[in-house]
């Protein structure tokens, strides 16, 4: 991981458990001497700090980014256990989302899948998982995250869908519970929704009787009609945030 960093960055390391143990008091320039010191520190590291106090570690890391680092900051988190308090962790991630992205790596089968994904999602970063803790598996996982960190990303990307024309009065869109996402440059955003006929007195607007399992809308509803659905995107991105979003919307139908 360390040898894959760019030469023009500053970096620091912190080991955490029930407490935290940083390598330096503030981030250092990436150079041959600091790389060797960090490598030796990692080689001597032992997992002896108790439970996984992720909140303390992230709070310390975020404080460093505001006090000692100028410019964009990425935080890489390696964890193999459950967070001590997931809500406290998510709160500190939300608080610092404008200043730093988080790229967590979940190690082994005991890490909290939801926790790791949610931390990355809220910060505009991405997450990876390595069930195998061997050096080869970790190398591949870390390289994936490093490639992601070199791309710009948008967070809280929300797709606002509106039916148009006759479809607005006859149908409604049922979206999934989560409608905000983190998206990296060049990455497609795929969102599924149900197009459902509106109900009037137990009978759907398209004339089909309501059934216990609902009504399946045929594919022809949107197959040859342009302009029946419009979409606008909103997002939070890195400065300058006044740049307009560039996107292409493609709508497809699928009936299982």
- Per-residue pLDDT reduced to its tens digit, 98-108: 888 999 998 87
Terminal alpha carbon distance of the chain:
43
Q: Is residue 216 pLDDT above 50, yes or no?
A: no
Q: Is 134 exposed, middle or buried (0-12, 13-18, 19+ CB in 10 A)?
A: exposed
8-state DSSP, 131: S
DSSP 1-47: -GGGS-TT-EE--EEESSSEEESSSS-EE--HHHHHHHHHHHHT--S
Q: Within a 10 A sphere around the Cβ of 30, how many other Cβ atoms? A: 16
- Per-residue pLDDT reduced to its tens digit, 64-73: 877 766 667 8
Side-chain half-sphere CA neighbours of 164 within 13 A: 10
Nearest to 75 by CA among 22, 128, 13, 136: 13
Nearest to 195 by CA among 226, 220, 232, 178: 220
Residue written as token pair 């995250």: 145
Beta bridge partners of 76: 103
Beta bridge partners of 197: 171
Higher pLDDT, 166 or 247: 166
Nearest to 54 by CA among 27, 26, 94, 81: 81
In the structure, what pLDDT confidence band is assigned to residue 224 with cuts at 50, 70 and 90? very low
In the structure, what pLDDT confidence band is assigned to residue 190 with cuts at 50, 70 and 90? confident
Side-chain half-sphere CA neighbours of 177 within 13 A: 0
Residue written as token pair 């308090």: 85
- Per-residue pLDDT reduced to its tens digit, 158-178: 777 778 777 777 888 887 776
Choice among 42-51, 150-159, 178-187 with the minimum mean pLDDT: 42-51
Range with the largest mean pLDDT of 48-52, 123-127, 175-179: 123-127
- Which residues, 6+ apart, have CB-to-CB distance to 201 below 8 Å? none
Nearest to 10 by CA among 24, 35, 32, 28: 28
- What local confidence, expressed as pLDDT, does residue 13 receive? 93
Question: Is the distance from CB of 235 to CB of 154 less than 8 angstroms?
Answer: yes
């Amino acid at each position: 991981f360390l040898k894959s960093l760019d030469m023009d960055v500053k970096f620091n390391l912190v080991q955490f458990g029930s407490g935290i143990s940083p390598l330096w008091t503030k981030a250092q320039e990436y150079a041959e001497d600091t790389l060797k010191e960090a490598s030796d520190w990692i080689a001597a590291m032992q997992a002896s700090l108790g439970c996984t106090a992720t909140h303390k570690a992230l709070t310390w890391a975020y404080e460093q980014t505001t006090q000692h680092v100028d410019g964009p900051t990425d935080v890489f988190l390696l964890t193999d256990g459950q967070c001590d308090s997931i809500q406290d962790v998510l709160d500190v991630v939300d608080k610092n989302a404008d200043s730093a992205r988080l790229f967590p790596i979940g190690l082994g089968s005991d890490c909290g899948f939801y926790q790791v994904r949610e931390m990355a999602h809220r910060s505009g970063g991405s997450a990876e998982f390595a069930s195998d803790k061997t050096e080869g598996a970790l190398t591949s996982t870390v390289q994936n995250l490093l490639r992601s960190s070199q791309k710009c990303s948008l967070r809280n990307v929300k797709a606002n869908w509106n039916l148009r024309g006759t479809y607005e009065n006859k149908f409604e869109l049922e979206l999934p519970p989560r409608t905000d996402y983190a998206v990296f440059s060049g990455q497609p955003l795929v969102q599924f929704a149900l197009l459902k006929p509106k109900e009037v007195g137990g009978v759907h607007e398209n004339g089909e009787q309501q059934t216990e399992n609902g009504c399946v809308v045929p594919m022809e509803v949107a197959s040859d009609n342009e302009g029946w659905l419009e979409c606008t995107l909103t997002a939070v991105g890195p400065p300058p945030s006044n740049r307009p979003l560039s996107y292409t919307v493609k709508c497809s139908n699928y009936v299982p």
